[in-house]
Amino acid sequence: MKIDRDAPIGVFDSGVGGLTVAREIMRNLPSEKIVYFGDTARVPYGSKSKDTVIRYSRQIIHFLEEQQVKAIVIACNTASAFALDAVKDELDIPVLGVIEAGAKVAAKETRNKRVGVIGTLGTVGSGIHEAYLKQLDPEITVIGKACPLFVPLVEEGWLHDPVTTEIVSRYLQELKDKEIDTLILGCTHYPLIRSTVGRVMGDQVTLVNPAYETALQLKALLAEMDISSSGTGEEDFPYRFYVSDLADEFKDFANSILPYDVSMAKKIDIEKY
Ligand code: DGL
């Protein structure tokens, strides 16, 4: 199949969190167009079963294929953990998750070979980071910690609130006790509380942001496949946003974190796909 280099990149997430990944793609691949889908009607994915997350992901991928995207980025860590393996051979276009790029950088960064991973119950429970990291270096010890309260705190906008510092400290104490020197922010929302996490963990711990690392991996992949955009990125609507519910709320959140003015998000019926 011939892939159109000027087609958009499809990016999807369970909701607003994946905008942290879209943001890194906007910053690092400024001439690429994006079609973003946030599954705001069915969020959260982090507490759902693998089968359900695979079914939701397949529906979204069908929608994105209909939008004629040239590649798909599964921005959601939980969907990457649960669905990437199941869907990647079903597609004619490249599909990337957010786990691999973060794991690679963590394996390179760690000095004492003790890596922490924080994420949803689904992501941490899947053990996927450990599987990747052990493959890269069998001597690495991986310590996972699910932090289910972080997502609602971020969505509430309490990014710099003392309550957030308190909760972050409580969840992360275990990782401090286990003397990790590298921490993967394994959930879409966590880059937004990165400074608090960094303060709690201390300077000696390197934080890995999979959103940024995935954007770089995407850039390399498009170049390698010779399908990078030929455009200048100066089109009127280079970025399109779709959701399964609450389009106005989505738009407000998007405008609070993106370097781009989101004028609308369109609601679609994802159950049709
Ligand atoms: N986007 C999800 C993730 O990165 C967090 C929110 C959810 O649980 O759906 O795992």
237, pLDDT greater than 90: no
Q: How far is the CA of 79 from the centre of ligand 1 (A)?
A: 8
- Over range 257-267, report the average pLDDT: 94
Among protein residues, the one with the nearest Cα to ligand 1's atom 2 is 76
Cα-to-centroid distance, 195 and ligand 1 (Å): 19
Task: Please tell me whether the overall predicted TM-score, pTM, comes out greater than 0.75 for this model.
Answer: yes
What Cα–Cα distance (Å) separates residue 189 from each residue in 105, 129, 209, 251?
Answer: 19, 18, 10, 16
The percentage of the chain sitting over the pLDDT mark of 90, rounded to a whole number, equals 96
Instruction: Tell me if residue 144 falls in helix, strand or coil.
Output: strand
Kindly state the average pLDDT of the residues 18-40. 97
Q: At what angle do helices 210-224 and 99-109 cross, to 10 degrees?
A: 110
Tell me whether residue 76 is one of the annotated catalytic residues: yes
- Supply the residue whose CA is at minimum distance from atom 6 of ligand 1: 44
Residue at 228: amino acid letter? S
pLDDT value of position 49: 97
Q: Assign 32 a pLDDT band (cuts: 50, 70, 90).
A: very high
Q: Ligand 1 pocket: which of 52, 76, 129 to mutate (most atoms <8 Å of CB)? A: 76
How remote is the CA of residue 123 from the centroid of ligand 1, in Å? 9
226 C-beta neighbours (distance < 10 Å), count: 8
Backbone angles phi, psi at 115, to 5 degrees: -115, 130
pLDDT band at 232, cuts 50/70/90? Answer: low
Q: What is the mean pLDDT of residues 53-81?
A: 98
Cα within 13 Å of Cα(87), Cβ side: 28
